[in-house]
Structure 1
Amino acid sequence: MCSDLKLKEKGQPVDFDLYRKFSPVPMEIIDGNIFFTDLERENLLKLLNYNVGIKRTFKIIEE
């Protein structure tokens, strides 16, 4: 796991460089948040977890 991406209990702002490093597609970043609302971010997270699988998601979190 990259040293500049440390998971914390609460969500953290994303700057353009961090987003560009970890995202394959352009998205909106507003005041450090990807997309506009918590619901939009949570839906994207659900979709990514669905695509990656929960077992792999937990391994990524542990890393």
Structure 2
Amino acid sequence: MSEEKGHMDKAKGKTNQVKGQVKEKLGEATDHQNLKAEGKKDQAKGKLQDKKGDVKNKLNQ
């Protein structure tokens, strides 16, 4: 069960990274600095979630 949680964290992380990339690109295209910053924040959050999933999976091996 814990391994599933690790995979879920990784999936959420990847989703947030993609969402952040879209927001960042949209912010750049529309010259909307807040949206661009929000995209970078989402990407960072996604990277942390991905690493959290890696740690959970490693601990459950």
**TM-score for the superposition, normalised by structure 2:** 0.30
Query: Whose strand proportion is higher, 1 or 2?
Result: 1
| Higher alpha-carbon Rg | 2
Query: Whose helix proportion is higher, 1 or 2?
Result: 2
Q: Which fold has the larger relative contact order, with Cα–Cα distance below 8 Å and residues 6 or more apart in sequence?
A: 2
**TM-score for the superposition, normalised by structure 1:** 0.29
